[in-house]
């Protein structure tokens, strides 16, 4: 799949830096610029994945913050996937996609935060305390 | 509604005809079908969020059985992650080739995508088999039930995606790029496959990396 292939490459003169001037989700007319957008996305994803694995393995960072850092890195990587691979942009022809995504994210965060919050409190409040266990054993 | 009227109430987007509000009537099927599929993928992601919430609630309910640190291997997960990431990349390359109706490269990149997906799935199945062999199956504890449901559900999606890739390769081979539905199905497949990798990012972070922190 070479850009020199006359079947694939479109006509017309190009600026040398044109491939980088197209936003990731915008329609591309050249094979090179479209492929480059995926390569850039892959590079970002690989870097973020590598940093995630490094953050998880190193002892140089403050322990309690590592889990939060990993979640932030994961959200960043999902953003890279959305922009470079799924082509979600802020352009007018993407309004419906972005609105649906925003609604989906609201539900996702409601489910996640609501469940974890409530279940953590339930676990803390409903778990048998040592006195209760003792009482149950005496009655049994 | 006239253009000036639309401009007066702020419905125009910097001179673009497309307001995204349907003023020009229904969009073409090549827009509507991937949009509908995007809605499906989002609802699938909501389904996974419920599984993630379940997993997070039950991760410490190990009932005296094995805990996350004893079960997971980071090296295997790194290979799985790499395979899935490369497959999502080659899936994009397949779409680029398909848009230009290039049969050879579309088939090559779809095949590579499927092979990377197969590598991922093989590692996951061997990991599951090893865990079940060690007595750490889904019946062992609430944590393991949640683990197998969450990761297994993602694996089932990958399996479905692999079958879809095979189907699309056969369809492109026999029908070519002429019928418009072929390209629509390919676009939906790529949305599905990219979404699988997004969910995997959450799984390898929350289940495997955070689960193996010291």
What DSSP element (H or E) covers B62?
Answer: none
Give the model's pLDDT for residue B28: 81
Per-residue burial over A75-86, b = 16 or more CB atoms within 10 Å of its CB, e = otherwise: ebbbebbbbbbb
Give the model's pLDDT for residue A24: 56
Q: State which residue of chain A sits closest to B106, comparing Cα positions.
A: A1
Give the number of other CB atoms < 10 A from CB of residue B148: 19
Instruction: Look at residue B15 and tell me whether its pLDDT is greater than 70.
Output: no
Using DSSP's 3-state secondary structure scheme, residue B16 falls into strand
Q: Positive or negative, the Cα torsion across B39, B43, B46, B51?
A: negative
Give the model's pLDDT for residue B21: 64
Instruction: Pick A108's closest partner by Cβ from B13, B38, B45.
Output: B45
Instruction: Look at residue B120 and tell me whether its pLDDT is greater than 50.
Output: yes
| Residues from chain B contacting residue A27 (CB–CB below 8 Å) | none
When the pLDDT of each residue in chain A is averaged and rounded to a whole number, the result is: 78
| A70/B209 touch (CB, cutoff 8 Å), yes or no | yes
Answer yes or no: do A129 and A80 share one domain. no
Name the band, by pLDDT with cuts 50, 70 and 90, for residue B214: confident
Give the model's pLDDT for residue B97: 94
Phi, psi of B13 (to 5 degrees): -115, 85
Give the model's pLDDT for residue A48: 96
Answer yes or no: do A68 and A96 share one domain. no
Phi, psi of B202 (to 5 degrees): -65, -40
Give the model's pLDDT for residue B19: 59
Instruction: Pick A100's closest partner by Cβ from B38, B56, B97.
Output: B38
Answer yes or no: do A83 and A132 share one domain. no
Give the model's pLDDT for residue A93: 75
Give the model's pLDDT for residue B5: 57
Instruction: Look at residue B50 and tell me whether its pLDDT is greater than 50.
Output: yes
Answer yes or no: do A24 and A83 share one domain. yes
Give the model's pLDDT for residue A126: 72
Give the model's pLDDT for residue A1: 40
What DSSP element (H or E) covers A60?
Answer: none
Q: Is A72 on the interface with B (CB under 8 A)?
A: no
Single out the residue of B86, B42, B93, B51 nearest to residue B207, CA to CA.
B51
Single out the residue of B53, B89, B85 nearest to residue B201, CA to CA.
B85
Give the model's pLDDT for residue A113: 95
Give the model's pLDDT for residue B51: 97
Q: Are B122 and B79 in contact (CB under 8 A)?
A: no
- Residue B166 tokens read as 């095979």
| Closest Cα in chain B, distance from residue A139 (Å) | 24
Answer yes or no: do A52 and A100 share one domain. no
d(Cα B162, Cα B171) in Å, to the nearest integer? 14
pLDDT tens per residue, range A51-82: 999 999 888 888 888 999 999 999 999 999 99
Q: Is A26 on the interface with B (CB under 8 A)?
A: no
Q: State which residue of chain A sits closest to B206, comparing Cα positions.
A: A71
Instruction: Pick B212's closest partner by Cβ from A46, A56, A111.
Output: A56
Answer yes or no: do A73 and A136 share one domain. no
Give the model's pLDDT for residue B4: 56
Give the model's pLDDT for residue A17: 43
DSSP B159-207: HHHHHHHHHHHHHHHHHTT-SHHHHHHHHHHHHHHHHHHHHHHHHIIII
Instruction: Pick A70's closest partner by Cβ from B45, B97, B205.
Output: B205
What is the percent of chain B with per-residue pLDDT over 90, rounded to a whole number?
73
Structurally, how many domains does chain A consist of?
A: 2
Which has more confidence, A29 or B204?
Answer: B204
Q: Give the range of the structural domain holding residue A123, as residue numbers without chain letter.
A: 91-140
Give the model's pLDDT for residue A91: 74
Using DSSP's 3-state secondary structure scheme, residue A12 falls into coil
d(Cα B97, Cα B79) in Å, to the nearest integer? 27
| A112/B52 touch (CB, cutoff 8 Å), yes or no | yes
Angle at B90 between CA B84 and CA B96, to 5 degrees: 145
**CATH code at B28-212:** 1.20.120.80
pLDDT tens per residue, range A93-123: 788 899 999 999 999 999 999 999 999 888 7
The reported pTM is: 0.82
Which has more confidence, A11 or A107?
Answer: A107
Q: Is B52 on the interface with A (CB under 8 A)?
A: yes
- Within 8 A by CB and 6+ apart from B197, the residues are A81, A85, B84, B85, B87, B88
Q: Is B149 on the interface with A (CB under 8 A)?
A: no
Answer yes or no: do A8 and A36 share one domain. yes
| A42/B85 touch (CB, cutoff 8 Å), yes or no | yes
Instruction: Look at residue A135 and tell me whether its pLDDT is greater than 90.
Output: no
Q: Is B194 on the interface with A (CB under 8 A)?
A: yes
Q: What are the sequence ranges of the domains in chain B?
A: 28-212
Read off the DSSP letter of residue A10: P
Using DSSP's 3-state secondary structure scheme, residue B98 falls into helix
Name the band, by pLDDT with cuts 50, 70 and 90, for residue B145: very high
Answer yes or no: do A83 and A97 share one domain. no
Answer yes or no: do A66 and A102 share one domain. no
Give the model's pLDDT for residue A131: 60
Give the model's pLDDT for residue A3: 44
What is the percent of chain A with per-residue pLDDT over 70, rounded to a whole number?
69
Answer yes or no: do A140 and A73 share one domain. no
Q: Is B13 on the interface with A (CB under 8 A)?
A: yes
Name the band, by pLDDT with cuts 50, 70 and 90, for residue A134: low
| A38/B197 touch (CB, cutoff 8 Å), yes or no | no
Answer yes or no: do A20 and A67 share one domain. yes
Residue keyed to tokens 């040398």: A16
Kindly list the distances between the CA atom of residue B139 and the CA atoms of A98, B50, B68, B144, in Å, as whole numbers in the listed order. 41, 20, 16, 7
Region of B172 on the Ramachandran plot (φ > 0 left; ψ -120 to 50 alpha; else beta): alpha
- Residue B102 tokens read as 């290039």
pLDDT tens per residue, range B168-200: 999 999 999 989 899 999 999 999 999 999 999
pLDDT tens per residue, range B58-84: 998 888 889 888 899 899 999 999 999
Instruction: Pick A108's closest partner by Cβ from B49, B92, B102.
Output: B49
Q: Is B212 on the interface with A (CB under 8 A)?
A: yes
- pLDDT mean over B107-111: 97
Answer yes or no: do A50 and A100 share one domain. no
Instruction: Pick A112's closest partner by Cβ from B20, B49, B210.
Output: B49
Give the number of other CB atoms < 10 A from CB of residue B113: 26
């Amino acid at each position: 799949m070479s850009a020199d292939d006359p079947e694939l490459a479109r006509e017309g003169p190009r600026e040398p830096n044109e491939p980088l001037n197209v936003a990731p989700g915008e329609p591309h007319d050249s094979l090179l610029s479209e492929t480059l957008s995926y390569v850039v996305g892959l590079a970002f994803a690989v870097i973020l994945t590598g940093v995630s694995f490094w953050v998880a393995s190193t002892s140089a960072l403050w322990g309690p913050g590592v889990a939060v850092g990993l979640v932030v890195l994961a959200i960043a990587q999902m953003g890279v996937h959305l922009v470079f691979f799924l082509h979600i942009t802020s352009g007018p022809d993407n309004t419906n996609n972005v609105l649906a995504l925003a609604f989906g994210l609201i539900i996702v965060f409601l489910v996640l935060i609501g469940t974890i919050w409530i279940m953590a409190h339930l676990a803390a409040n409903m778990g048998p305390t040592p006195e209760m266990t003792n009482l149950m054993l005496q009655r049994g | 509604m006239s253009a000036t009227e639309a401009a007066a109430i702020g419905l125009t987007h910097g001179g673009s005809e497309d307001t995204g509000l349907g003023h020009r009537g229904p969009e073409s099927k090549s827009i509507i079908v991937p949009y509908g599929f995007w809605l499906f993928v989002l609802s699938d992601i909501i389904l996974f969020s419920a599984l993630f919430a379940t997993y997070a609630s039950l991760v410490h309910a190990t009932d005296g059985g094995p805990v996350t640190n004893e079960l997971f291997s980071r090296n295997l997960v790194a290979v799985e992650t790499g395979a899935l990431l490369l497959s999502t990349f080659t899936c994009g390359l397949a779409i680029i080739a398909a848009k230009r109706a290039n049969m050879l490269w579309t088939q090559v990149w779809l095949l590579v995508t499927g092979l990377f997906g197969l590598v991922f799935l093989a590692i996951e199945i061997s990991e599951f088999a090893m865990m079940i062999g060690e007595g750490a199956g889904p019946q062992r504890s609430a944590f393991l039930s949640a683990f197998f449901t969450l990761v297994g559900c993602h694996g089932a999606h990958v399996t479905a995606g692999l079958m879809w890739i095979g189907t699309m390769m056969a369809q492109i081979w026999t029908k070519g790029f002429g019928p418009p539905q072929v390209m629509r199905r390919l676009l939906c497949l790529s949305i599905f496959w990219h979404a699988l990798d997004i969910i995997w990012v959450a799984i390898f972070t929350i289940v495997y990396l955070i689960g193996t922190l010291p």
